[in-house]
Each structure stands twice: as structure tokens, then as C-alpha cells.
Amino acid sequence: MAGDSPYWNPKTETLGRERLEALQLAKLRYQCEWAVARSPWYRARFAAEGFVPSQLRSLADLRRIPMLTRDEWTASQFEHPPYGEIPVIGGDGAIRLHTTSGTTGRGPLRALDSRKDWAWIAEMWAYAIWGCGARPTDTAYIAFGYGSFIGFWGLHYAMEKVGVLNVPGGAQSTEARVLQIVDFGATVVAATPTYALRLAQEGEQLGLDLRGSPVRRLILSGEPAGSIPQTKALIEDLWGAKAFDTAGMTEIGTIMVFECSHQPGGTHIIEDHMIEEVIDPVSLQPVAYGERGERVVTSFGRGTIPLLRYRTSDLVCRVPAATCSCGRGFDLYEGGILGRVDDMKIIRGTNVYARGIEAIVREFPEVEEFQTVITREGLRDEITLRVEMRPDWRSDAWAQLSDLLHRRLALAHEGLNFRVERAGAGELPRFELKAKRTVDLRDAPIGAAT
């Protein structure tokens, strides 16, 4: 228990780099020995690559361990259904099954956890909850569907572990959730960034004063937008509260990064429980501090699914711990998760990132929802920003607003000409989890629905 400390785990969160790395090396050896003894996939893979855990003499030897990709995991599930050969146990020894939210053709990952894994999953979230300033006197509302997607399940248990009064807001309408947040006097709300905005919009339509409500902190997860400054500023303004970014993944079972109460514009890596590498996704060589690359994660706490050098496809930029003044020894990802390594779109020779578009759109609080549609007309690619305005917005200002959006988008994209279209009320999709606002129709059959 952390007592009066600003840190959940004062001992490990303030370790110097040398001692932190010694701890990582000891845990890495143990996890590799565990994996090779119990996981059929790692046993075969390590043997094929000639790797044995006794080769790990320093952290630099980490690179002897073969990387694991999502495709390899999926293939193993396909060949050895339903869980594949990476887990060290089958369903008999586990207490939980979760799946990724992905709906791509590859199919979701199925992840198993033991009781001990769940204790660790909650412990990781406790670093974030405590680190952003939540305390046992708080009341937390978790605006989340509580389905097979892992989402805020770990946060739920961590709230209990920290001692926060916890309201599970599953299986309800947005309206019912906002009413409960106010009714129960929640001081902390957990949601995706997109859903935090939607809850605030719903509250305004219901005539509720969320800015004047007891809500002081929002814990965001599930989308990179929690660290886009413009999105975060809008969320903080609508709620009259501070917003804190976190990020996790089903493959780990929990979060690997969190933003501390100093709000340094990035997220600390929980380095006493993970090793995060940042590599060039093509050459697979490590990149330096301050350079963008792909996250590769090794986590130590989940026994059922040992995760060693897993390629995440997340785009990040790592900076030293001293970038934040909170005193933690954990390095940070500047700007949180920046997106996916493969989510850059090229339109007529110009690079376009979903994050860059969102940063501009969120400067306009009168925009309720938006979507980017990319099409091919003849030989020419076109990019269209579709914008849905708030219901109480004055329509006669559209020409001015669309012109301003058009100019801001062009300025940020080497003069690229975006079309800006107004969408009707309720026309664009709404999201509770993992918003997908970019629709690329260039390779879609003619007539495919947006």
C-alpha cells in the first residue's frame, strides 16, 4: 500500500536505471526459463533459433530472443485450436478468457488467464490509478461494456485493490450512464477518449452540469487520442476535470504505460514489470531516444501467456525518465501511443495520419463527430473530411467553418486539398471502444458502403 506516497510502488518506481535494469534482467531470465519449460511454442521456437535462457548475461542479450508476431500467434491458434501453443495451460487451468476487439479477417486472439495473472493485471492498473492521484476516498464510474474484450476489466479490479468505491457501468445507454455518474457523485470516470466526449455531449443535451459535478479525474484508455493535446484539452474542458492517458493490450492482459499526476504530455512505461524496446519496423534495429519506431514488449507478470519480444505495431517515441519532474525512474512515451506503424495513408504523395487530422478537428468544439474517407476517382486519390455538427449549432456559420477547416488541414499537409463535407445529424458512426474514423475505399469494390 502506498500510503502518502505519490507512487503506488515507491521502491521500484524510483529505482535508478542501473538497478532497474538488474531487476529486469533477473525477471527476464526467469520468464524465459518458465516459457521454455512450459510453453510448446516457445520450446520449439527457442530450439529452432538455438536460444537458451542461460545466454542472458546482460540486458543486451535480450536481442538473442526471437521476436513474436501477431500473425504467428494467430497461426498457432488456427493450427492448435482454440488457444494455440503459446499458453502454458489450456482452459482447465485458467479462470478467464478474453479476446481482442479486432474484426479483421485474421480473427481475434483468445487470451487465457490464471488467478495469479489477474492479481498482476490489477497491480499494473494500480500504478496508473494511484499515479494520477485517485485515492480510497474517491468514487469511480467505469463506463465500459464488461464483455469479452478486456478493456477496463483490469482497472475495475485495481480500483478495488486501491480501495476506491467502484461503480461498474456496464450494459446501459449513454444517457443512463451520465445520470448515474451524477447520481452517485462519481469523482473519477474511466472511458475511452471518444466515449468521454460522447458522455459529455450527452450530459449537455440532458442539461446536466458536468463541469460543476464532483468528477475530478478521467482515466482514458483504448485509443491513442488520450494523448492528443487538442482532444485531451476538449475532454478536460467539457468535464471540468483532469484527463490521464493509459494504454494496454489484450496480449499483455493489462496496461504497460500510464500518465502521472504531473501530466508530462506522455506516459510512463511500467519498467519494473515490462521491457519495452523501440525498433525500426523494417530493419528491426533499435532506434534512439526521441526517434519514432515500433514498440516491442516483453512482460513478466503473466504466467499463462509468457510474452517475449512481441511486435505490437504501435508507433511510439521514447524519451528518458527525467523528461518528467515526478521523480519516477520510468522512461516515457512522448505523446503516448502515436498510432499504428501501418496507419499512415499516402494521398497524392503526402503522408496523412489519423492523429494529425484529429488534432485539427478537436480545435473546433462545435464538431460532434467526424470521419475521413479516402477514395480513388479515375487515377486520382481524394480525401474527404465528413463533419457532423452539434445539434444546437448555428447552421449559417457552415461556410466559414468549413473554409477554416479546409485551410487548417491544407496547412498541416503540404497544401493537400481536403474536401470538407457536412454530414447529417446522427449520420456518422458513434463509438464506445476503439473509434475507427478513417475509411479507405481505394481498393473497395465500387458502391461499397462507407
CA–CA dist 90, 36 (Å, integer): 16
Scanning 69-77, 112-120, 137-145, 325-333 for contacts with Zn ion by CB under 5 A, the matching segment is 325-333
Of 10 and 82, nearer to Zn ion (C-beta) is: 10
Write down the number of H helices and E strands in the chain.
11, 20
In the complex, the smallest distance separating the C-beta of residue 257 from Zn ion, rounded to whole angstroms, is 11
Scanning 93-101, 230-238, 259-267, 355-363 for contacts with Zn ion by CB under 5 A, the matching segment is 259-267
Q: Are 319 and 332 in contact (CB under 8 A)?
A: yes
* Residue 80 interacts with Zn ion (CB under 5 A): yes or no: no
* Residue 260 interacts with Zn ion (CB under 5 A): yes or no: yes
Nearest residue to 190 (alpha-carbon basis) of 234, 235, 231:
235
CA–CA dist 385, 374 (Å, integer): 9
* Residue 6 interacts with Zn ion (CB under 5 A): yes or no: no
> Which residue shows C-alpha cell 499516402?
346
C-alpha cell recorded at residue 13: 518506481
In the complex, the smallest distance separating the C-beta of residue 11 from Zn ion, rounded to whole angstroms, is 17
In the complex, the smallest distance separating the C-beta of residue 332 from Zn ion, rounded to whole angstroms, is 7
Residue at shortest CB range from Zn ion:
326
Scanning 24-32, 318-326, 345-353, 411-419 for contacts with Zn ion by CB under 5 A, the matching segment is 318-326
In the complex, the smallest distance separating the C-beta of residue 244 from Zn ion, rounded to whole angstroms, is 11
C-alpha cell recorded at residue 64: 538473442
Report the residue count for the chain. Answer: 450
Scanning 107-115, 238-246, 254-262, 269-277 for contacts with Zn ion by CB under 5 A, the matching segment is 254-262
Of 269 and 307, nearer to Zn ion (C-beta) is: 269
Q: Are strands 292-299 and 307-319 parallel, antiparallel or unpaired?
A: antiparallel
Of 260 and 337, nearer to Zn ion (C-beta) is: 260
At residue 180, the 3 state secondary structure works out as helix
* Residue 324 interacts with Zn ion (CB under 5 A): yes or no: yes
Of 32 and 260, nearer to Zn ion (C-beta) is: 260
In the complex, the smallest distance separating the C-beta of residue 246 from Zn ion, rounded to whole angstroms, is 13
Of 132 and 324, nearer to Zn ion (C-beta) is: 324
In the complex, the smallest distance separating the C-beta of residue 268 from Zn ion, rounded to whole angstroms, is 6
52-61 burial, b for 16+ CB within 10 Å, e for fewer? ebeebeeeee
Phi-psi map region of 143: left, alpha, beta (phi>0 left; psi -120 to 50 alpha): beta
* Residue 262 interacts with Zn ion (CB under 5 A): yes or no: yes
Of 5 and 69, nearer to Zn ion (C-beta) is: 5
DSSP assignment of 340-405, as one string?
ETT--EEETTEEE-HHHHHHHHTT-TTEEEEEEEEEEETTEEEEEEEEEE-TTS-GGGHHHHHHHH
> What does residue 25 show for φ and ψ, rounded to 5 degrees?
-65, -45
Scanning 105-113, 237-245, 324-332, 359-367 for contacts with Zn ion by CB under 5 A, the matching segment is 324-332
In the complex, the smallest distance separating the C-beta of residue 256 from Zn ion, rounded to whole angstroms, is 15
Of 132 and 357, nearer to Zn ion (C-beta) is: 132
Nearest residue to 274 (alpha-carbon basis) of 17, 20, 5, 2:
20
Give me the half-sphere count of Cα atoms (radius 13 Å) on the Cβ side of residue 214.
Answer: 14
In the complex, the smallest distance separating the C-beta of residue 12 from Zn ion, rounded to whole angstroms, is 14
Q: Are strands 307-319 and 332-334 parallel, antiparallel or unpaired?
A: antiparallel
Which one of residues 89, 165, 179, 326 is an interface residue with Zn ion (CB under 5 A)?
326
CA distances from 100 to 76, 152, 169, 203, 390 (A): 16, 13, 21, 30, 32
Q: Are 164 and 135 in contact (CB under 8 A)?
A: yes
In the complex, the smallest distance separating the C-beta of residue 10 from Zn ion, rounded to whole angstroms, is 14
In the complex, the smallest distance separating the C-beta of residue 262 from Zn ion, rounded to whole angstroms, is 5
> Which residue shows C-alpha cell 542479450?
61
- Binding residues for Zn ion, how many (CB under 5 A)? 4
> What DSSP designation does 147 have?
S
In the complex, the smallest distance separating the C-beta of residue 266 from Zn ion, rounded to whole angstroms, is 9
Residues 380-419 within binding reach of Zn ion (CB under 5 A): none
Of 131 and 151, nearer to Zn ion (C-beta) is: 131
At residue 134, the 3 state secondary structure works out as coil
Of 326 and 416, nearer to Zn ion (C-beta) is: 326
* Residue 305 interacts with Zn ion (CB under 5 A): yes or no: no
- State the binding string over 208-247 for Zn ion (x if CB under 5 A, else -): ----------------------------------------
In the complex, the smallest distance separating the C-beta of residue 298 from Zn ion, rounded to whole angstroms, is 22
Scanning 50-58, 132-140, 225-233, 317-325 for contacts with Zn ion by CB under 5 A, the matching segment is 317-325
C-alpha cell recorded at residue 183: 447520481
Of 46 and 333, nearer to Zn ion (C-beta) is: 333
Q: Which residues bind Zn ion (CB under 5 A)?
A: 260, 262, 324, 326
